[in-house]
């Protein structure tokens, strides 16, 4: 098959961290959000999971739910203990109240102890209850320290805030064609010294077997000094490209997966940020070019970057170079 | 026009993150504070804004106002809830007090709960009020965690604390002339391995159209090992300079914008800091040189750096080299 | 002896931070956990120990014990002070209680002050007791600040979470043999731009004395762009290798110690992580190769990495090249 | 003068951040603790000082004093306000107490509010007192946030913990001589990839004027992969050295100042640390060599690094090479 045969002159890269697998009919390697499409086994879950990583990656809503859940659980746990010891050791709680009410009052005493608000209209008396309350207030302080750390960790986690075009395009380029992906920062952050790295994973035939090969795709510009506006990452498909001479059908057949990794310096926080994404062959638009997404403001005082136009493209005809 | 024509031999840089725009009559690209003169559209504000970035960049005064505003708002909100449930569920508040007084007392109970001071002379009774108070004290703890994170984030944000001269000078330099900008750290921080990068954006004529071109300006010294005293960044205007043979008028006509970016290593915090600034053509002083801004102390025991003299310069005549 | 003699053509590295010691019969240089097998003397312990480093490196369990210990100690200390001043200055404590009970009540008052829960059913009266309580609550706040910092420090400490194979193998490799070590990340973290550095420390004879020499071992691939799956670090034992022509016996005799250092970029936290390990000669398996530890899931949708197979290897015969 | 004349063939470095000053008779440029011997003027103190830098650099003792001072000041301030409003608005304070006692009680109420311990045996009543107490508890929470940030900042500040030899030696070296300085880490931290940079500042005669010139001193080894044991930084004084052919007297006459800067990677915290020191000419020992400061433990199981021997040296005769 021509597709595979024509690739042999390119040095494939074996240092991608993914192996070449003879059973190439798997799913994608990298998810669109940049995580690896991978599952680890052979170790218990609690050893395989970094709780801190997980709590930082969690959505804001889930994080709030998790905190509410822990707050309620701990209070229920201690309410049960106070109740078991006897609410008569909590001065201020009427022991003639019905049982559910006394439990609820123990619950609220627990919450006042855990948050260290300690109004004192309910207060511990007796050795055991005092001991439990003393432990709970320490736990409250430690839990709070953990939450402070988590919230700061979530806040300060370096993020690139990059928006990628939904499609990758094969566009006309200097008499030939090029693979193009567009990206821009969408927040009020400013990235400098941004570097792009483009890798392709494709199925090729070798010794009659379909295997996955990886190639680095050279870029027209692989580094920009400032990511103020949008950046169109361009891989020229010339004779040096592993994608040379592939037709649209052959690209789909080879189940192209393009992994784009951006590394940049966040101007404001002074640290390095990184973001990855992946395009599968069904996100490829063959014969199209991006339309501009920024312009000078009418009054000419500043530049406008229209983020909703990041994927705006128009169809164009690509004249296939038959002499390639 | 000579200005534009003579530039064609220089390779312009296309990786500035700003595009070459045919409608070149816009405002400056980078503001003097280093931020981009740019507006993003096409996404809702809350997606375009990083609240953390914003709260960290905010002035100290505005940040204090924001905190006071949130503190008052949350207390008003909870006061209203306690009031709606009924202040009779807040033991210690006299229900015979006039309505406004009872609301104010609910407000203060709320503040005692939110800050977890919880004196207890006013205390919640009844299921609903206890539930609200329990929720509010949790919210208080979380809000406090957020504030701790923000304050630490503001404190520890790497900053270069660089003071730049107000003007850029065209000064005599080794028989020719050079573009000079002076800078110094103004705090008790110490920067090492400082690197400067100078970029010019200028209007040139191409195919009868005025467009913006970017050129990297080579520096006499682009890296200093220690930024103890002041540093005069010098771009020699010789035959290799995109500014060669430009008269003062031509520089103004080309609407020169000079972007200076400094990256350094903070000796104390051991992290990389970065600061940018931009000079527009009306900040250019043609024919001037900086006067010294540091001297040995009279008693000879240490060196004095006079920060108020950062922009001190004197006019000098530049002998134009007609053979360039 | 051939072992030593054949090494002289290799440039040993003297910048390992370990000296060449004529008394070479010592223990290993680096422990399997990556720390140096080293003891420092000549300075008092408190100057030689960074408490922060120690508290961050401590196991979770020991850290909890340490906190409980400090909490109890401080409360005992203050309980003693309150008791010495007189519990009659603590309103709410019955002075007719037996002495041990009054001490316990002072202890619980102390814990309520330290955690700032301050119920108030016991409250300080009198100048001295008020002064001590005021000091204790400040101390509580400071101690809490310290604990918050420690917990955040423990959470956010960059860790590589690398799992190394228990053995290093001498495996057949391209007609000759190679030293191989396998590693993988075992948590839900993702490392990019991973770099490996392999150093050997071995005993050689020089001038009739046994001394320790260090050599850098060149790797087939020393950098991978993504550490998604496992990585087998391969040092080809060819004519350029300091291990060339060594038999299994000679390797043991030379008391080979292999130090592997991995440096990578954590994709999620955007910082550099590093992990070291060391293999002593008795962890060497001569004539073996690693078995695969990952596969595509049956349904083909993702890849499975089996962490329990990291050390899986099978014995193979190595054909010694007699012409080396 | 020979001293100065013989230097002209060396390229001096002008990018040290220190200028060549014709009035060379000043004090040292860098203090032994690595800070610049420099004073900045021309800006008000509060703009010239980074409070965060200052509070982080402060000794532990001074930091504790500062906190105590602020705690007392704020409490005095609020006590005065509560007292001015009238302690009759603080329920629980006997208005028949003598004036000083009522002030003291207001002071303690303030401290209970600031630390949010809020026992409640004294509680605010009346609009104004409640308002002040509400403000104070917010202030307390913010102050606590600041202190938490500062304490964490102090803890987590990357530090190299390097111990330098008190003297620099001119020692015999490969038939000639070399400048040697010894250093070691003295804490339980481990540095990797350590880099040294050695700069000399010396007085030379140029055009009949004494000026300060800076030269980079090439090192035998400028980078070590691990700083496990001690490291002797060696600058060979050969024909390429700016110090070549200088006698002991000429070195003193030239008022040699040697600035040593170490940059390394902290293995545990995964960040870059840096430490500088400076040696003046009167710390120079001409004709001496360092004695070993580490050895294998008797039982051979680990290595011992004796930190108190960092400056141990013995006098040796240097045979001056007269043909230099």
Domain assignments of chain D as residue spans, ordered by start: 47-156, 159-315
The neighbour count for residue B112, using CB atoms within 10 Å, is: 33
Chain D residues with CB under 8 Å of B308 CB are: 41-43
Q: How is domain C50-156 classified at the CATH fold level?
A: Helix Hairpins (1.10.287)
Among A177-181, B82-86, C15-19, the range scoring the smallest mean pLDDT is C15-19
Query: How big is chain C by its Cα radius of gyration, in Å?
Result: 29
What burial letters (b/e) apply to C174-191, b meaning 16+ CB within 10 Å? eebbbbbbbbbbbbbbbb
Candidates D60, D79, D113, D225, partner chain C, best to mutate (most C CBs within 10 A) = D225
Residue D106 is predicted with a pLDDT of 95
Helix (H, G, I), strand (E, B) or coil at B68: helix
Residue B225 has pLDDT above 90, yes or no: no
Residue A119 is predicted with a pLDDT of 93
Residue D22: band (very low, low, confident or very high) from pLDDT cuts 50, 70, 90: very low
Q: How far is CA B157 from CA B57, B185, B211, C132, D50, in A?
A: 10, 16, 38, 37, 12
Q: Does D118 touch chain A (CB under 8 A)?
A: yes
Q: How is domain B11-38+159-315 classified at the CATH fold level?
A: Immunoglobulin-like (2.60.40)
Q: Do residues A137 and A113 make contact, with C-beta atoms less than 8 angstroms apart?
A: yes
Candidates D161, D270, D300; nearest CB to C25: D300
Among B128-137, C64-73, C214-223, D163-172, the range scoring the smallest mean pLDDT is C214-223
Residue D160 has pLDDT above 60, yes or no: yes
How far is A223 from A194, CA to CA, in rounded Å? 5
How far is D137 from B116, CA to CA, in rounded Å? 9
Residue C221 has pLDDT above 80, yes or no: yes
Candidates A120, A142, A146, partner chain D, best to mutate (most D CBs within 10 A) = A120
Residue appearing with tokens 């784009």: A260
Cα–Cα nearest to C313, from C286, C295, C281: C286
What burial letters (b/e) apply to B255-265, b meaning 16+ CB within 10 Å? bbbbbbbbbbb
Chain D residues with CB under 8 Å of A119 CB are: 120
Q: Does B22 touch chain A (CB under 8 A)?
A: no
D126-143 confidence digits (pLDDT tens): 899 999 999 999 999 999
Q: How is domain D47-156 classified at the CATH fold level?
A: Helix Hairpins (1.10.287)
In this prediction the ipTM stands at 0.81
Residue B1 is predicted with a pLDDT of 38
Residue B3: band (very low, low, confident or very high) from pLDDT cuts 50, 70, 90: very low
Residue D105 is predicted with a pLDDT of 93
Residue C252 has pLDDT above 50, yes or no: yes
Residue C80 is predicted with a pLDDT of 96
Q: How far is CA D13 from CA A69, A322, B185, D10, D243, in A?
A: 63, 58, 21, 9, 15
Residue D259: band (very low, low, confident or very high) from pLDDT cuts 50, 70, 90: very high
**Contact flag D117-C117 (C-beta cutoff 8 Å):** yes
* Pairing state between β B288-290 and B313-315: antiparallel
Candidates C15, C134, C272; nearest CB to D225: C15
If residue C178 lies in a helix (H) or strand (E), which one and from where to where?
strand C176-185
B276-300 confidence digits (pLDDT tens): 899 999 999 999 999 988 776 666 6
D41-94 confidence digits (pLDDT tens): 888 887 888 888 888 888 999 999 999 999 999 999 999 999 999 989 998 888
Q: Does D271 touch chain A (CB under 8 A)?
A: no
CB within 8 Å of chain B, chain D residues 157-186: 157-158
Residue B105 is predicted with a pLDDT of 93
Residue D257 has pLDDT above 50, yes or no: yes
How far is A84 from A81, CA to CA, in rounded Å? 5
Cα–Cα nearest to D272, from D159, D187, D184, D196: D159
Residue B7: band (very low, low, confident or very high) from pLDDT cuts 50, 70, 90: low
Candidates A121, A152, A186; nearest CB to B91: A121
More confident residue, D148 or A41: D148
Residue A288 is predicted with a pLDDT of 94
A277-297 confidence digits (pLDDT tens): 999 999 999 999 999 887 766
Residue C13: band (very low, low, confident or very high) from pLDDT cuts 50, 70, 90: low
Residue D2 is predicted with a pLDDT of 39
A150-198 confidence digits (pLDDT tens): 998 888 888 889 999 999 999 998 888 999 999 999 888 888 889 999 9
C106-162 confidence digits (pLDDT tens): 999 999 999 999 999 999 988 999 999 999 999 999 998 999 999 988 888 888 899
Residue C23: band (very low, low, confident or very high) from pLDDT cuts 50, 70, 90: very low
Residue D206 is predicted with a pLDDT of 75
Residue D205 is predicted with a pLDDT of 79
Among A13-27, C83-97, D297-311, the range scoring the smallest mean pLDDT is A13-27
Q: How is domain C12-30+159-315 classified at the CATH fold level?
A: Immunoglobulin-like (2.60.40)
Q: Do residues D264 and C17 make contact, with C-beta atoms less than 8 angstroms apart?
A: no
Residue D157 is predicted with a pLDDT of 83
Residue C37: band (very low, low, confident or very high) from pLDDT cuts 50, 70, 90: confident
Q: How far is CA D285 from CA D171, D261, D293, in A?
A: 9, 20, 18
Residue B14 is predicted with a pLDDT of 55
Among B306-310, C261-265, C309-313, C316-320, the range scoring the smallest mean pLDDT is C316-320
Residue C183 has pLDDT above 80, yes or no: yes
Q: Do residues B87 and B123 make contact, with C-beta atoms less than 8 angstroms apart?
A: no
Q: What are the start-end ranges of the H helices in D86-218?
A: 99-114, 127-156
Residue C83 is predicted with a pLDDT of 93
**Contact flag C302-A41 (C-beta cutoff 8 Å):** no
Give the residue-averaged pLDDT of A215-225. 89
Q: Say how many residues make up chain B.
A: 324
**In chain C, what are the helix, strand and coil shares in percent, each to the nearest 5?**
30, 30, 40
Q: What are the start-end ranges of the H helices in B51-208?
A: 51-57, 60-85, 99-114, 127-156
Residue appearing with tokens 């954590």: C266
How far is A103 from A109, CA to CA, in rounded Å? 10
Q: Which of A27-41, A185-199, B30-44, C4-18 tops mean pLDDT?
A: A185-199
**Contact flag C120-B120 (C-beta cutoff 8 Å):** yes
The dihedral through the CA atoms of A162, A165, A168, A169 has a sign that is negative
Residue A46 is predicted with a pLDDT of 80
Residue D193 tokens read as: 């990839």
Give the residue-averaged pLDDT of A59-67. 95
What class is the A2-38+159-315 domain? Answer: mainly beta
The burial of D84, by beta-carbon neighbours within 10 Å (0-12 exposed, 13-18 middle, 19 or more buried), is given as: exposed
Residue A210 is predicted with a pLDDT of 76
Give the residue-averaged pLDDT of C10-39. 64
Query: How big is chain D by its Cα radius of gyration, in Å?
Result: 29
Distance from CA of A32 to the nearest CA of D (A): 29
* Pairing state between β A294-296 and A303-306: antiparallel
Candidates B115, B120, B145, B147, partner chain C, best to mutate (most C CBs within 10 A) = B120
Residue D23 is predicted with a pLDDT of 45
More confident residue, B1 or B166: B166
Q: How is domain D159-315 classified at the CATH fold level?
A: Immunoglobulin-like (2.60.40)
Q: Do residues B204 and B2 make contact, with C-beta atoms less than 8 angstroms apart?
A: no
More confident residue, C236 or C204: C236
Residue C6 has pLDDT above 50, yes or no: no
Beta strands in A207-267 (DSSP E): 209-216, 223-226, 231-237, 257-266
Name all chains with 3 or more CB-CB pairs below 8 Å to chain B.
A, C, D
Residue D13 has pLDDT above 80, yes or no: no
More confident residue, B31 or B138: B138
Residue B320 has pLDDT above 70, yes or no: no
D23-53 confidence digits (pLDDT tens): 444 567 788 887 887 788 888 887 888 888 8
Chain C residues with CB under 8 Å of B119 CB are: 120
**Contact flag A17-C271 (C-beta cutoff 8 Å):** no
Rounded percentage of chain C residues whose pLDDT exceeds 70: 88
Candidates D104, D118, D225; nearest CB to C16: D225
How far is B126 from A97, CA to CA, in rounded Å? 12
Candidates B16, B37, B116; nearest CB to A225: B16
Q: Which residue of B has its CA nearest to D153?
A: B156
Q: Does A116 touch chain D (CB under 8 A)?
A: yes
Q: What value does the mean pLDDT of chain C take?
A: 85
Q: Which residue of D has its CA nearest to C49?
A: D187
Q: Do residues A246 and A3 make contact, with C-beta atoms less than 8 angstroms apart?
A: yes
Distance from CA of C183 to the nearest CA of B (A): 30
Distance of CA B18 to the CA centre of its chain: 19
DSSP letter (8 states) at residue D300: S
Q: Does A270 touch chain D (CB under 8 A)?
A: no
Residue A298 has pLDDT above 80, yes or no: no
Residue A233: band (very low, low, confident or very high) from pLDDT cuts 50, 70, 90: very high
How far is B277 from B136, CA to CA, in rounded Å? 45
């Amino acid at each position: 098959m021509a597709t595979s045969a024509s690739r042999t002159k390119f040095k494939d890269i074996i240092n991608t961290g993914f192996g070449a697998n003879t059973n190439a009919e798997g799913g994608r390697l990298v998810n669109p959000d940049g995580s690896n499409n991978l599952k680890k086994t052979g170790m218990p879950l609690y050893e395989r999971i970094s709780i801190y990583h997980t709590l930082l990656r969690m959505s804001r809503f889930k994080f709030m739910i998790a905190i509410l859940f822990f707050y309620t659980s701990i209070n229920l746990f201690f309410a049960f203990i106070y109740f078991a010891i006897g609410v008569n050791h909590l001065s201020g709680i009427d022991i003639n109240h019905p049982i559910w009410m006394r439990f609820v009052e123990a619950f609220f005493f627990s919450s006042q102890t855990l948050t260290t608000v300690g109004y004192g209209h309910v207060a511990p008396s007796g050795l055991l209850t005092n001991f439990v309350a003393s432990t709970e207030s320490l736990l409250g302080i430690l839990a709070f320290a953990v939450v402070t750390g988590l919230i700061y960790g979530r806040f300060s986690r370096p993020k690139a805030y990059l928006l990628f075009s939904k499609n990758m395009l094969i566009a006309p380029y200097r008499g030939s064609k090029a693979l193009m992906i567009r990206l821009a920062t969408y927040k009020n952050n400013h990235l400098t010294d941004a570097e792009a790295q483009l890798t392709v994973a494709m199925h090729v035939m070798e010794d009659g077997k379909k295997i996955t090969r990886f190639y680095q795709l050279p870029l027209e510009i692989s580094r920009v000094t400032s990511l103020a506006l949008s950046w169109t990452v361009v891989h020229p498909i010339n004779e040096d490209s592993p994608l040379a001479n592939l037709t649209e059908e052959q690209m789909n057949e080879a189940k192209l997966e393009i992994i784009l990794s951006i590394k940049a310096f966040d101007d404001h926080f002074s640290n390095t940020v990184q973001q990855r994404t992946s395009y599968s062959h069904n996100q490829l638009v063959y014969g199209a070019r991006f339309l501009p997404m920024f312009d000078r403001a009418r009054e000419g005082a500043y530049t406008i970057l229209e983020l909703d136009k990041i994927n705006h493209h128009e169809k164009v005809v690509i004249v296939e170079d038959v002499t390639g």
